[in-house]
Structure formats: structure tokens, C-alpha cells
């Protein structure tokens, strides 16, 4: 009898618990419904098409799917809702768009320069006040240091010296690690080279003879990128206690985290250090390491991914590769051991077209995001309310047949001046647009050109992987699943 009473008591507790849980869930659904129907922002966002929704959760659960499905999910949403649509995730709404007319109302303006909510997923690695993630007030001060350093002509000879030396080492590394039978993905080789370049140019600290450092940096950056992706598709990870228990806390590169006081801030870190001393009452040393991590991420992952894509595409299209090599030989000679000089960079006209088309067909950064600083009227009775995160679908814009003729075909000639007449500049977003676009565009363009010259002057690249068989996923940069982008090399006679 006593045992029965005990079981009955437990049953009553469970019944009460589930009853309270259901009532609380109903309460949340009611609150969400009231907010979405009667708040000002809710009324405005309801005028923007949205996919089918679930009670309480909205349509956010769609994005809990693995990242490899995101391109298809977003394409389906564009077909279902139109080129601009709204996604509701519990109590937060997000706008996605591939309309150039909408994009040009946001990206050019500083008042819309705060980064979108999704960038918070990278705060554990990049912090809240680094170049990529900082609010506008801090970003404005930091860009006065970073932009001139990256874009001042007096610094270019130093950059070019590093690009040339590392390009020659990269060509030798690619050939020595070559797989002539099946080919192989060369991302690790490219990442090592771009890491060495960043340390030489940004930090005045050569590491080409310190492979253990380059390895640690590469491993840390790749791990952090994976964690950021996990935080994006698993929202519960972002709850502080859960994040702590799972180990998703602050991450610094191992070589610098051991003893911060022993690190000598050089080059851009030193300039940023001085900038913060001049503008802040109290200097947070952690912020300098977040800046370090940001420069590492931007200076390694992005150019490595772009170069990986370019080499794969010219391997897939040998006629393009031949024209590139003819241009290189016309400038530097056949079989010559050369250094690319500043005046040579501007002479590589066809290479310009190849780089632009590569970043159109397979954009290294497939998504960009901003938080609008005031209401934005995007036409047709649609208004994006202040504080809403807007995401620009670079991948979908670049592959839209209404904007680009035969978008799945790799055709560098589409970027000839006569073929660009009448095309909206906001239909091409490799590095975003406006005041908060990538500050290292000139640096990256020079780096890619020099590395390509040094590789193609010595090696011929080929592949067996067809474009339709490439498996990619969204992330901080575009990632490639399965075999990646395997290529093989042959030394030129």
C-alpha cells in the first residue's frame, strides 16, 4: 500500500510537471503570436514573404539541417517566397535577399554597417570588438589603422617580396606532394603558404622555417571554423552554461596563449595597440589577440579558398589555363625564374578576368550580413525595420540566370568591359560592398596573382572532378565535402 502511494505521488509530480510545461509552451506561443501580429516590427515583417512556419519555433528549424543542405534550402526558399524573404526563429527574425535593388539600399551606407546577428557565433574566436565583428564606433577607429597599412603603395614592395618567395616555395611543395594518379586536395598546402605570408607581412615574423608554428595556427583556425559552424546550426550551444560545459569558450592560437606578456606586438598589431591606448581608458589585451585571430582568419582561410577554387577551375578548363600561361610567358618569358613587380600586377589583364569569374562561380564567402540601423523601404510596400539582420545571398546572386547568362559555365570573358555594360554592380559580391567591405582586397588580389604566376610558370594543373560533382557547404568560407577539389600537377618542359 505504501509503495502504491509512493508511485501515485510520483505520478502526480510528473503529471504536474508536464501540465506546467504544456501551459508554459502555450504561454510562449501566445506571446510570440501577439508580438508577431501586433508589434510594429511584427506587422512590417509580415508583409515580407516567409516560408511555412511551425508554432513557436517559426521556420528557423529548417536551418538546423546540416550545412551541406543550406544551399538547396535557400534556393528552395527563393523559389517559394521570391528573391527576398523573412525567416522567423522563435523571437528573432532574419531577412535573406538576392535582389541587387534591395542590397544597394543597405550596403553603401555606414548607418547599416553593424554586422548581422549571425556574426555573434564567431565571438568566441574573434571577440566582439575585432575588425570583422566590432560595432561601427570601434570599427571606424580600427580601419584608420588597417586600411592605410594594407593599401599604401609604399608597403607593396615588402608584400610582393613575400608573395614571390612563398609562391616559389608553394610551387615546389605542390609538385613534391603531388598525386599523379588520382590527384589530391591541396588546401593544406595553400593554407600553409598563406599563413607564412600573413606572418611575414602583417607581423614581421617569418615562420617558413618553423613548420610546427604554421601547423598549430592552421589546426587552431580550422577547429575554430568548425566550432563556429556548430554554434550556427545548434543554437543551444550558445547558452553560456552549455557553451562552457561543451568547451566552446574563448579560443586563442596556442603559440600566443601560453604567455601573452612575452609577445612583442609588431606591425599592425602594434599600430592597433597604440590606437587603443589613444582611444580607450582601459586597454583589454584580449582584444589584441582577437585582432590577431581576425587577421589570421582573413589572411589565410579566404585567399587559400579562392586559390583552391581558381586552380581547380583552370584545371577543369585547360583552354583558360593555356591563355593564362601565354599571358605570363609574354610578360616574364618562357621558363624564366622571375619576380613579379608592382608594374607587372596591372599587366595581368586576363588573370583579372579569371579571378573575377572564379569568385563569381564559386564565391569563397557565400553569405554576407548587416544589421540595419534604421527602417529601410525596399519597395512594393515592404519595409525592413530597424535592428533587423539582413543576409545577402552572394552564391544565389552569382548563379542567378536572370542576372548572368549561363551562370554555371566558367567564362572569364563575361567580365570584359564591354560585357559589363548595364550590369548592376550589386549583382557581384565576392568581398561585399560599401564602407565595410573587405579592407584587404588589393593585398589579396596581388597575393593571388603572384602565387598563380609562380605556380603556372612551372606546373600544369589538371583534374578529373566534374563541376556538377563538387560537394560544398556554407560556413565562414565555402567548404568542400568528400574528396574536396582534387588536382594533380605536371612539370612543364
Question: Annotated binding site for heme, which residues?
Answer: 438
DSSP 3-state of 311: helix
Q: What gap in Å lies between CA 255 and CA 46, rounded to an integer?
A: 50
Between the CA of residue 62 and those of 98, 117, 161, 230, 238, what are the distances in Å?
19, 18, 48, 15, 18
Sequence ranges of the binding site: 438
Put residue 376 in one of left, alpha, beta given phi > 0 → left and psi -120 to 50 → alpha: beta
CB atoms within 10 A of CB 91: 12
Residue 281's Cβ-count burial label (10 Å; 0-12, 13-18, 19+) is exposed
Which residues, in sequence order, are bridge partners of residue 279? Answer: none
**Rounded to 5°, angle at Cα 115 from 280 and 192:** 85
Q: Give the three-state DSSP class for 113.
A: coil
Residue owning grid cell 597599412:
149
- The answer to whether residues 474 and 70 touch, using CB atoms and an 8 Å cutoff, is yes
What is the C-alpha separation between 398 and 387, in angstroms, rounded? 27
Residue (of 318, 52, 229) closest to 238 by Cα position? 229
How far apart, in whole angstroms, are the C-alpha atoms of residue 456 and residue 344?
15
* Residue 376 bridge partners (DSSP): 384
Cβ–Cβ < 8 Å for 393, 97:
yes
User: Which one, of 272, 294, 270, lies nearest residue 203 by Cα?
Assistant: 270
Answer for the pair 249, 286: CB distance below 8 angstroms, yes or no: no
Amino acid at each position: 500500500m505504501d509503495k502504491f502511494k509512493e508511485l501515485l505521488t510520483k505520478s502526480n509530480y510528473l503529471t504536474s510537471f508536464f501540465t506546467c510545461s504544456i501551459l508554459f509552451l502555450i504561454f510562449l506561443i501566445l506571446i510570440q503570436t501577439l508580438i508577431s501580429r501586433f508589434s510594429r516590427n511584427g506587422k512590417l515583417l509580415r508583409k515580407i514573404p516567409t516560408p511555412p512556419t511551425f508554432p513557436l519555433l517559426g521556420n528557423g528549424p529548417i536551418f538546423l539541417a546540416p550545412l551541406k543542405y543550406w544551399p538547396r534550402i535557400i534556393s528552395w526558399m527563393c523559389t517559394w517566397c521570391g528573391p527576398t524573404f523573412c525567416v522567423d526563429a522563435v523571437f528573432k527574425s532574419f531577412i535573406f535577399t538576392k535582389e541587387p535593388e534591395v542590397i544597394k539600399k543597405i550596403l553603401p551606407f555606414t548607418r547599416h554597417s553593424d554586422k548581422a546577428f549571425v556574426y555573434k557565433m564567431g565571438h568566441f574566436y574573434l571577440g566582439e570588438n575585432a575588425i570583422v565583428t566590432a560595432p561601427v564606433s570601434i570599427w571606424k577607429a580600427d580601419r584608420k589603422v588597417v586600411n592605410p597599412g594594407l593599401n599604401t603603395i609604399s608597403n607593396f614592395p615588402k608584400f610582393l617580396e613575400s608573395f614571390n618567395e612563398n609562391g616559389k616555395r608553394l610551387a615546389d611543395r605542390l609538385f613534391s606532394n603531388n598525386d599523379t594518379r588520382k590527384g589530391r586536395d591541396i588546401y593544406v598546402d595553400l593554407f600553409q603558404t598563406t599563413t607564412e605570408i600573413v606572418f611575414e607581412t602583417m607581423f614581421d615574423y617569418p615562420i617558413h622555417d618553423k613548420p610546427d608554428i604554421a601547423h598549430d595556427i592552421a589546426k587552431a583556425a580550422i577547429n575554430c571554423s568548425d566550432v563556429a559552424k556548430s554554434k550556427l546550426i545548434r543554437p543551444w550551444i550558445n547558452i553560456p552554461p552549455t557553451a562552457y560545459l561543451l568547451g566552446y569558450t574563448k579560443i586563442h592560437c596556442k603559440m600566443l596563449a601560453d604567455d601573452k606578456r612575452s609577445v612583442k606586438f609588431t606591425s599592425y598589431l602594434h599600430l592597433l595597440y597604440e590606437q587603443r591606448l589613444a582611444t580607450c581608458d582601459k586597454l583589454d589585451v584580449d582584444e589584441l589577440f582577437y585582432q590577431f585571430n581576425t587577421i589570421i582568419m582573413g589572411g589565410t582561410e579566404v585567399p587559400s579558398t579562392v586559390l583552391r577554387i581558381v586552380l581547380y577551375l583552370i584545371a577543369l578548363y585547360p583552354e583558360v589555363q593555356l591563355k593564362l600561361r601565354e599571358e605570363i610567358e609574354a610578360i616574364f618569358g618562357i621558363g624564366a625564374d622571375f619576380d613579379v613587380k608592382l608594374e607587372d600586377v596591372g599587366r595581368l589583364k586576363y588573370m583579372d578576368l579569371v579571378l573575377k569569374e572564379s569568385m563569381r562561380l564559386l564565391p569563397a564567402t557565400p553569405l554576407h550580413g548587416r544589421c540595419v540601423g534604421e527602417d529601410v523601404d525596399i519597395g512594393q510596400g515592404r519595409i525592413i525595420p530597424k535592428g533587423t539582420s539582413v543576409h545577402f545571398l552572394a552564391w544565389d546572386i552569382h548563379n542567378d540566370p536572370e542576372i548572368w547568362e549561363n551562370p554555371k559555365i566558367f567564362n572569364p570573358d563575361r567580365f570584359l568591359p564591354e560585357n559589363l555594360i548595364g550590369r548592376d554592380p550589386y549583382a557581384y559580391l565576392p568581398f561585399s560592398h560599401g564602407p565595410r567591405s573587405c579592407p584587404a582586397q588589393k593585398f589579396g588580389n596581388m597575393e593571388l596573382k603572384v602565387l598563380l604566376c609562380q605556380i603556372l610558370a612551372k606546373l600544369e594543373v589538371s583534374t578529373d572532378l566534374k563541376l556538377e560533382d563538387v560537394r560544398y557547404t556554407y560556413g565562414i568560407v565555402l567548404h568542400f565535402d568528400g574528396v574536396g577539389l582534387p588536382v594533380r600537377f605536371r612539370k612543364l618542359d
